Amino acid sequence: MKRMTKQRRAIWEVFTENPRPLRVEEVLALAQAKTPTLGIATVYRNVRRFVDDGKLSEVALPEIGMLYERADIGHHHHFFCRRCGRLYDFPGCPLREDDLAPRGYAIEAHELFLYGVCAACREA
């Protein structure tokens, strides 16, 4: 990361101020509050860059698309509320990779997506 421009700083701040998976369009909207001239190509270039540098993780959600969140929050999974459309981080992991593989297969990583109704929507 050679130069810290105001655009790059604004994009990074969006991720620290919003600790959940964000879409590129959300990042653009939130960062434009700080740097109004910001263009979407710059957002794409910077999130890619942050991912390459290990500062952001990609969250590729079936049906929803690619989102990004800070990489330093540890292994966890995601829950998508079908009623309100919000995406939640669920801490922890119910899986042991050793138990998942048929003989001969080596599991190196996994992703688990949960769908349902969140606590807030169930109460409403």
Partner DNA sequence: ATATGTGCAAACTCTTTGCATGGAG
Partner DNA sequence: CTCCATGCAAAGAGTTTGCACATAT
Q: Which stretch binds DNA (CB under 7 A): 30-38, 68-76, 92-100, 116-124?
A: 30-38
Residue 44 touches DNA, criterion: CB under 7 A: yes
Between the two ends of the chain, the Cα-to-Cα distance in Å is 45
46, 11 Cβ separation under 8 angstroms:
yes
Show contacts with a copy of itself in window 20-59 (CB under 8 A). Answer: 58
The single-letter DSSP state of residue 102 is P
62, 78 Cβ separation under 8 angstroms:
no
Residue 6 touches DNA, criterion: CB under 7 A: yes
Residue 110 touches a copy of itself, criterion: CB under 8 A: yes
Q: How far is the CB of 55 from DNA (least distance, A)?
A: 13
Residue 59 touches DNA, criterion: CB under 7 A: no
